[in-house]
Amino acid sequence: MITAHDHPNTAFRGNKDYDSWVEVFHSRSSWRMSQISFKKDSESWVPFNRFKLIDASDVRPGFRVFRIRATRLEFKFANGKRTDIEDNSGKNYVIESPGRYVVVTGSGCRRVSDAQIADCLRPMRPHDKYVELLFEANPTWRNCFATFCMEGEHDLDWHKQPMELRSEPGVWFLRIEAKHGVKCAFTDGGSEWDSNSNLNYQIKLPGKYLIGKRHIVYLGVSDLDIHLDKSWNTDALKP
C-alpha cells in the first residue's frame, strides 16, 4: 500500500498543485550567482534579470534550484553579470513534463523524481505556521486524541491533545502550531489507534489536511493562516 511515508507527494494527489511543478537543479561552482531566462508553457520569454536560482545544498550539495508551476519549460542560464551564458550546446534546455530535474551542463536535463510539492509551495507562504488536522475516525469513537511530534524535535518529544468533534459524523479537528510540519497518530484514549500502520502520518508543510484510512489529503492553506494574512493569493508569486 502506498503511504505518505513512502511518497511525500501522496497528500497532494487530486489537488491542483499535484503534478504541476518543475524543479531545475543546476551547479556551476565558478558562478557567484545563477540567473535563468525561460519560457513556460505558451507564455512569453522571461529575461535574465527577473529570476535567479536559490541555494539547494540541503537537497543536493553544491546545487542551486529554480522552481515553477509549469508543464513545459524552455530555458538557459547566465552568471550574475550575464557575461557567461550556458545553454544546451547551442540550443535551449527543454523540459517536456513536470518533475525534479538535474541539468547536465551542455547535455540536457535528467529527471530524477517527481517534484517535491511541499518544497515548491513553502516559499510561496513563508510565514505560515499552522497545521489543521481533520481526522476521519471510526464512527464508534466517543473521544479522539492526537499524539504528535514536531518536525525537528527529538522522537521522544511527543505531545497529546484532545480533538474537537465536528458536525460531520466521525470527523475530529485539531490546530497545531507547526511551521516545519508534524508527525502524528490518533487514538480513542483507550486501545484503539490509527498510526498509519505504525509509520505515523507525516506532514511536511503547514496547511489544512484530511487524514484517515492511511491517507492524507492536502486541502489548502490553514484557515488561521488565511485569517492572519488577508492579502493571501494563490497566484501571487507565479512568474
68: pLDDT confidence band, cut at 50, 70 and 90? very high
In a domain, 118, yes or no: no
Residue 94 lies in a domain: yes
Tally of domains in the chain: 2
State how far the Cα of 36 lies from the Cα of 23, in Å rounded to an integer. Answer: 13
CA distance 103 to 77: 11
Residues 132 and 190 in one domain: yes
Taking only the tens place, the pLDDT of each residue in 92-130 is 999 999 999 999 988 899 999 989 888 888 888 889 999
The rounded Cα 91 to chain-centroid distance in angstroms is 31
| pLDDT score at 3 | 33
State which residues form the domain around 75.
20-113
Whether 139 and 77 map to the same domain: the answer is no
Of the three residues 55, 84, 113, the one that is the final residue of a domain is: 113
Residues 40 and 104 in one domain: yes
Compute the CA torsion angle 165, 168, 171, 175 (nearest 10 deg): -60
| Structure-model confidence comparison of residues 173 and 121, the more confident one | 173
Residue 140 lies in a domain: yes
| CATH number of domain containing 34 | 2.60.40.10
Domain assignment present for residue 163? The answer is yes
DSSP 127-175: T--EEEEEEE--TT-S--EEEEEETTS-TT--EEEEPEE-SSTTEEEEE
Instruction: Give 223-238 pLDDT, tens digit per residue.
Output: 999 888 865 454 444 4
Last residue of one domain, picked from the residues 85, 113, 141: 113
Residues in the chain: 239
What are 12's three cell numbers?
Answer: 497532494
d(CA 98, CA 14): 15
Residue reference for cell 508553457? 41
Contact 134, 146 (CB under 8 A): no
For residue 5, tell me if it sits in a domain.
no
- Beta strands across the sheet bearing 130-136: 164-165, 171-177, 130-136, 207-212, 215-220
Query: pTM score, two decimals?
Result: 0.72
> Of 63, 87, 113, which marks where a domain is finished?
113
CB atoms within 10 A of CB 67: 22
Q: Could you tell me if 105 and 130 lie in one domain?
A: no
